Every structure is written in structure tokens, then in C-alpha cells.
Structure 1
Amino acid sequence: MVPGIHPDDAHLAALLAQRGIEPVACIWNDPEVDWTAFDAVLMRSTWDYFKHYTAFCAWLERLPIPTINPGSLLRWNSDKRYLAELAALGVDIIPTTFTSASDLAGTLALTPGQEVVVKPTVSGTAWHTARGVVGEPAFEQTIAALPSAFQYLVQPFVPEVVSGGEWSLLFFDGNFSHAVIKRPAVGDYRVQSEFGGTAQRVEPPAALVESAGRALAAMATLGYTDIAYARVDGVLTRRGFLLMELEMIEPFLHLAVAPDAAERFAGQLWKRLAAGLPECRPV
């Protein structure tokens, strides 16, 4: 959890204030917060929710005000087993197997010698994530030490994450806004800044935007149509764009490198809030 307004959101907050919307940063699990004093919640840097998942879901259930991105969407997006639903609808994802902790060793044994990535289905920032070659003692030791309470996903390691980087495409109200390529530090595969990863704004090919858009369009089939903001993460391979995950709870929006995007998002938030709320003071 990052208290206060994160620097990447600072310009967005200032733009909202200019439009008469008072942004107030609150910590989601602070018992002293009176949520009824606000009109809506805009999730931003709740980057610890997966560590307190049961409490977070309970908080969403009892929250007395709406969230920007509806609560049902946030709950669906919080567990990466949604990838199976999207794959069933024809979305190209990294091949993924889901398994319980008790069956994890057996699942891995089906692919001896393969380099894989294992992580909880509810996670973030490479939390409890392991990469290694199935059958190698060091990797087997790492897998044995993973928490037993979680569900896990197993994916083949995609080398293009290192060689070409991971794409993040940002959409506001279903419209493409901007994109970045995230690259890991030398010798690593994790693209998060906590591990030395970097991000650079780039103009994606039209086909890449279309692929990302199809992933969001598939969600309409599942009944999720009111998506105020979304980040589509994936990697370009010889098979084309493969979806890694959708981020619609608290994605880092890369607004510091895209001030024009912050202006678009602020305008769309103002319209959304003004249409339903006469006096808007979103968190």
C-alpha cells in the first residue's frame, strides 16, 4: 500500500481538482475512514490487497459507495483464473495451467526439463513467484517452500519478455490511450521497478492495439462492459500478442510519461462522475 497520492498520479489529481473534484487519498483498510463522506472510490495504489485478500474482498462487499470500475469487475479481476475464461472465448494467452498447492508438484512433473514460471492466482509484483527448470533441485526446493494455502498458475517461461520486453497498453472507457514497453534489469526477468525494471513510452503497431482491444471486448461476453480504466499486459511472440494479464484494480497507469493521457482520463472521470453524482468528491 502506498499512502497518499503516488507521484505517477499527481498530475491526474491536480487535473481532477481543477475540474472541481476533490481527490482525497485514503488507505483501504484504515478503520478510521468514513467512506460515507465520499461519493466514489477510485482504486490507485492498493498494492497490498493480494496479501490481505479475504479482508479486501470483505471490504469491497461492505463499501457503502460505488467504485470506479464496479466492485464485481474488481473481484473478477483479482484472481488470474479469469485467464481461462478469456482463453475459452478465443483470447490468445500464454498457455496456463491452474492447480492447487497440493497438486503443484504433480502438475510440474508433467513437463520435465521445461523452464516455467509459477505464481499464485491472486498476486502482484512477482509475489511468491518462482522461475526455474522443472526437475532441477534448486527449483524443486523453491516450489516446496511456496505457501500451501494458495491456488497457483503454471506457465512456460516466455523468453521474449527478456529479449523484447513486456507491453502494457492503457485503455480509458474502452478507448486506447497510450502504451509502454517494460524491460527487466540485466539478468532478471521481472519487469517491475522494484527489481530494476524500466518502462518507456512507445507507439504500438495497430495490430497490437487491436489484439489488446479484443481481450477487453471478450469481457463484454462475460457481462463486464463498464470498464473505466484497464491495462492490458502481454508479450509479442512468433505466435503474435499473448495476453499475460489484465489490470483493472490498481494498475500503474504510466501517467508521468503521458501527461496527455492524464488529461484524457481526468476528463472522462469528470464526465462519468458528473453524470451520476451532482457533487463529486471521489477518493
Structure 2
Amino acid sequence: MSESPIRRLAIATSVIVPGIHPDDAHLAVSLQRLGIEPTACVWNDPDVNWSHFDAVLMRSTWDYFKHYPAFRQWLDQLPVPTINNKALLRWNSDKRYLLELAAQGIEIIPTQIVPASQLQQTLASMPVQQVVVKPTVSGTARHTARGRSDDVAFNQIVAQLPLEFDYLIQPYVPEVVSDGEWSLLFFDGEFSHAVIKRPAAGDYRVQSEFGGTAQAIEPDEALIATAKRALAAAAAIGHADIAYARVDGVISQDRFLLMELEMIEPFLHFEGRHEAAERFAANLRKRLAA
């Protein structure tokens, strides 16, 4: 009986983290044990021969939003499948999807989307409140501003935001600072593990680049079910095949408000959770075999 052929999986990275990220190290080891050869490849490296691989797994492509047209073109031209699939990646790359999920009954932070040219006019027409402004295509809090809608200094910052983007305007939710932001990880629709992320003192951004921290936490069944409903809403829109997802949100007034679905390059928080990395690796083997 012949052995199963070696599968070759490209781990798409970026110049920010060109190799396999330490958080994904056990995932890579687990893939190798299952007969899958993972190879880190910078997504926009012109020398990579993508046809050499059976599939591409997005991991630390953490600059795609800085090169968005090129990223979309790269996806279109990839000669092999991606995990998650290309249609899902395109849909998830623009945060307009939040309004589509809201139309499916998912509770999100109230969101307006306006072009840059209308930002100041829109803010002037709003009730005086703390708001967060960020591009629909962005990451790591890039071009994100927080302030009062009637504050002159804040509006000066808003006036300097790049004109080529459309922006989300959302009320600032103080529980992100006081209670933390939840991240629930799902693989093939099944809950795996969760963390709660908190910003550094004096900040509101939970990303590690700004001093944010993440701590393992066990959500209750009701919260897991709420997060699953967000994935079900994505499926109802036409994105049912979700290999991996991170559901980010905040609990405000006893309600879980969805902040983002991360299905392109989410940090998966595998540190100290080897069993989760091994489950994901096993799921990937099934997908590659299919």
C-alpha cells in the first residue's frame, strides 16, 4: 500500500513577519506530522511560484490593506485554492460586511459608512458623543481616530485622514477599556478557545503593537452561541465554508456587540493551546485531502 502523497501548503506571510509566526509554530509542526509541508511565503513576493503548492493558508499577511488593489489582484491570479476561500477573503476584507450582518439580525456597534469627503459634515450633524472613525479597509488601527464629534482638535485630525477611503463612524464603547474585547476562535464552525484583550493604560486600542494584552478566558455557552450566530449570518449571505474565524466583540449593557469577523489573517492565540493548533491542523489535512 503506497503512502499518501506529501501535501504542500503555502503559509502566506508578509514582509512584517516573513517566516512562520511564533504563535503558529506548533501549527506548522502539527502539519508536518500529518504529512503536510508548510512553507512560509511573503504574499507579494514576485519570485514565489504559487503553482508549486496545493493551497494557500493566509496567516501573517498583516499589510494587505496597505496594498489593497494589489492584494485583490493577487487573489484573483492565484492558481491554487486559498483557505479560507477567495470569495470569503474578498468579502471579509472590507468592513462594510458589518452592515450586511446587521441586516441579518446580528447586533453590531451602531455604524455609519461615509466617504472621506463627507466625514466632517456627518460628524457635525451627529449628537455630541465620543466616536471612533476608521477606514472600511484597514487593520492594526491604521488611520483610526477617536474623539468627541464636537472637538476642534479631533475634527482637525479627521480632516487629515486620507481621502481615498470610505470610513466607518461608530460610537466609542467604553467597555472595551473597562471590561475588554472578546475574541472567540472557531475552526470549521466549532468553538475552539477564547481570549479577552485589554488596551494599555491610557489607550483604547487592544492591538499588541500599542501595548495591548490578551488573556485566556472561558466564555459561557450563551456567549459562544451568540458568536456562532454571527457565523450563521455570514453563511446566510453566502459564506458557509469558513475554515477559521475569530469573532471579536464587546459586551455592553449585557449584549454582545460584534466588532469584527476576522477571517483573513487573524492572530489565532495558539500559545499554550497546542491541542487547538493540532485540531486546526487536522481540519486542514481533511481539506487538502478533499
Q: Same fold (TM over 0.5)?
A: yes
Whole-Å Cα distance in 1 between the matches of residues 273 and 224 of structure 2? 17
Match of residue 216 from structure 2: 201
Match of residue 92 from structure 2: 77
Whole-Å Cα distance in 2 between the matches of residues 80 and 178 of structure 1? 24
Tell me if 1:238 matches 2:238. Answer: no
- Equivalent in 128, 132, 157 of residue 172 of structure 2: 157
Whole-Å Cα distance in 2 between the matches of residues 79 and 205 of structure 1? 30
The one-letter amino acid paired with 2:91 is W
Deviation string 1:16-52 (CA, Å, 9 cap, x unpaired) is 0011100000011000000111110000000000000
- Equivalent in 248, 259, 262 of residue 263 of structure 2: 248
Whole-Å Cα distance in 1 between the matches of residues 59 and 67 of structure 2? 16
Query: How is 1:168-187 mapped onto 2 (pairs within 5 angstroms)?
Result: 168-187=183-202
SS at match of 1:22: strand
Stretches of structure 1 that go unaligned for 5 or more consecutive residues are 277-283
Whole-Å Cα distance in 2 between the matches of residues 209 and 17 of structure 1? 31
SS at match of 2:100: helix
Tell me if 1:132 matches 2:147. Answer: yes
Deviation string 1:138-186 (CA, Å, 9 cap, x unpaired) is 1011101100000100000000000000000000000000000000000
Bigger relative CO (Cα 8 Å, ≥ 6 apart) = 1
SS at match of 2:261: strand
Query: How is 1:89-104 mapped onto 2 (pairs within 5 angstroms)?
Result: 89-104=104-119
Match of residue 17 from structure 1: 32
Whole-Å Cα distance in 2 between the matches of residues 194 and 257 of structure 1? 21
Whole-Å Cα distance in 2 between the matches of residues 242 and 27 of structure 1? 34
Whole-Å Cα distance in 1 between the matches of residues 222 and 270 of structure 2? 23
Deviation string 1:108-128 (CA, Å, 9 cap, x unpaired) is 112242100000000000000
Tell me if 1:106 matches 2:131. Answer: no
Judge which range, 217-226 or 181-190, deviates more: 217-226
Alpha-carbon distance, 1:9 to partner? 0.2
The one-letter amino acid paired with 2:146 is R
Match of residue 269 from structure 1: 284
Whole-Å Cα distance in 2 between the matches of residues 220 and 146 of structure 1? 34
Deviation string 1:88-140 (CA, Å, 9 cap, x unpaired) is 01000000000000111111112242100000000000000000001211101
Match of residue 260 from structure 1: 275
Whole-Å Cα distance in 2 between the matches of residues 157 and 41 of structure 1? 36
TM-score by length of 2: 0.94
Match of residue 87 from structure 1: 102
Stretches of structure 2 that go unaligned for 5 or more consecutive residues are 1-13
Match of residue 118 from structure 1: 133
Alpha-carbon distance, 1:257 to partner? 3.1
Tell me how many residue pairs correspond in the alignment. 275
SS at match of 1:230: strand
Tell me if 1:148 matches 2:187. Answer: no
SS at match of 2:168: strand
The one-letter amino acid paired with 2:233 is A
Tell me if 1:190 matches 2:190. Answer: no
TM-score by length of 1: 0.96
CA contact (8 A) 1:201 1:257 kept: no
Identity of aligned residues (%): 70
Tell me if 1:62 matches 2:77. Answer: yes
SS at match of 2:288: helix
Over the aligned positions, Cα root-mean-square deviation in angstroms equals: 0.7
Alpha-carbon distance, 1:258 to partner? 1.8
Q: Whose strand proportion is higher, 1 or 2?
A: 2
Query: How is 1:204-243 mapped onto 2 (pairs within 5 angstroms)?
Result: 204-243=219-258
SS at match of 2:194: strand
The one-letter amino acid paired with 2:51 is T
